[in-house]
Amino acid sequence: MKNNHTNYWLVNSYTSNKNDSNMMKHLKMKLSVVAVSAVMAMGCNNNQNTANVSCSLSGAGATFPEPFYSMAFDNYAHKSGNTVNYGGIGSGGGVRNLKDEIVDFAGSDAYLSDEEMAEMEPVVHVPTCMGAVVLGINLPEVETVRLSGEVVADIFAGNIKQWNDVRICALNPLAKLPNKAIVPVFRSDGSGTTFVFTHYLSQVSESWSSTYGAAKSVDFPVGQAAKGNPGVASVVSQTPYSIGYIGSEYAFAQQLPMAVMQNSNGEFVSPTVESISAAAKGDLPSDTRTMVTNSDAKGAYPISCFTWLIVYQEQHYGDRTIDQARATVDLLKYMLSDANQQSAHLVGYAPLPKSMVKTSLESIKKITYDGVGIF
């Protein structure tokens, strides 16, 4: 009898084991279904009912235009049925992903240098919108401050140490500037924002150019650093008598107090959507690889910049289909469309001037699939 009892438990556990394995099988089947559908979602789906080709595009790169892109890609998905995933991993990471051919496009705040271009298959740069770098300031007693490029360069180089320095006072004859030490705040992480800012400083200050130069991270000699636009913005707003450079889209959204900058015409210009766009008026190269910092256009905010989407000129690489290539071109055209450009200001970005849109459409026409144009 005792023996039977043990057997009963054994059988019981055996059958329950069997149940378990059945359950596992079900689970595995379900999992594989999920996996297969996930794989299918990656590429393009030929939906036979509607005869529409819906694609899923993926891109990665700059974080600066991310709010604009998430809005634009969302609108684009509604309009076209193509979904677009964008990972804000930094311009450098985006270009690396494009080199590894694991994305359809890269987003970058800096155009590729000639050396970088030489290492890759031919690429096309398409600017999508404009932004700027603004100087956030925390001066409890003063409403607005006017600054010039040379003065900003000397503040960040540690040559101007006090707010009531004669050179700042000369630019602000009416303001009562405090006798307090300036705390410069810069980015601790590598960033396109730092590149644009230091590119500007290099153009307006000989000594900045020779000592520090323009790069995504620069060896700032004074002040303190914080991570990302939110980091710099919160240090500035929490630290009296500080000054920090911040991406305009973030500063506009947070409505931070910003310095008024003197441009190369001697005008004092506040950073606004209009003054940023104004910086791109004038003669620009046909491949759009140019910086508009220290622009000599009328009413231009001097620390303005483009942000680009970068794609391969020949779209047949990896296992990409012609549908995917067409969808990529379609997306680029949508980014330049009037409707999209007009909505940029909603999230704090400036639209491209008309002349720039025209130049960019010309460069999209160069994109091919197996050597055939797909505009």
Residues found near other proteins in the complex (CB under 8 A): 4, 7-8, 10-11, 14, 89-93, 96, 181, 183, 185, 188-191, 212-213, 215-221, 223-227, 231, 234-235, 238-242
Of residues 11 and 170, the one with the C-beta less far from other proteins? 11
Question: Which residue, 144, 119, 109, is CA-closest to 260?
Answer: 144
Work out how close the CB of 45 gets to other proteins at its nearest, in angstroms, rounded to a whole number. Answer: 33
Q: How buried is 71 (Cβ within 10 angstroms: 0-12 exposed, 13-18 middle, 19+ buried)?
A: middle
The residue written with tokens 């000599």 in the block is 296
Closer residue to other proteins in complex, CB, 143/219? 219
Q: Using CA atoms, how far apart are residues 137 and 236, in angstroms rounded to an integer?
A: 7
Which amino acid is it at 41? A
Burial of 268 (0-12, 13-18, 19+ CB in 10 A): middle
- State the DSSP H helix or E strand holding residue 171, giving kind and residue range, or none if neither: helix 166-171
Least distance from other proteins to the Cβ atom of residue 86, Å: 16
Q: Which is nearer to other proteins, 97 or 360 (CB)?
A: 97
Q: How far is the CB of 198 from other proteins (least distance, A)?
A: 10
Strand partners, 185: 224, 244
Task: Tell me the closest approach of the beta carbon of residue 350 to other proteins, in angstroms.
Answer: 24
Identity of the amino acid at 224: Q
The separation between the first and the last C-alpha atoms of the chain, rounded to the nearest angstrom, is 84
Helix, strand, or coil (residue 204):
helix
Look-up of token digits 């001037």: 353
* Shorter beta-carbon distance to other proteins: residue 205 or 328: 205
Q: Are strands 368-369 and 268-269 parallel, antiparallel or unpaired?
A: unpaired
Nearer to other proteins by Cβ, of 213 and 373: the residue is 213
**Which lies closer to other proteins via its Cβ, residue 239 or residue 363?**
239
Smallest separation, CB 119 to other proteins (Å)? 12
Q: Are 57 and 328 in contact (CB under 8 A)?
A: yes
CB of 238 to other proteins, least distance (A): 7
**CA triple 341-342-347, angle to 5 deg:** 85
Q: Which is nearer to other proteins, 5 or 78 (CB)?
A: 5
- As measured in angstroms, the least distance from the Cβ of 195 to other proteins is 10
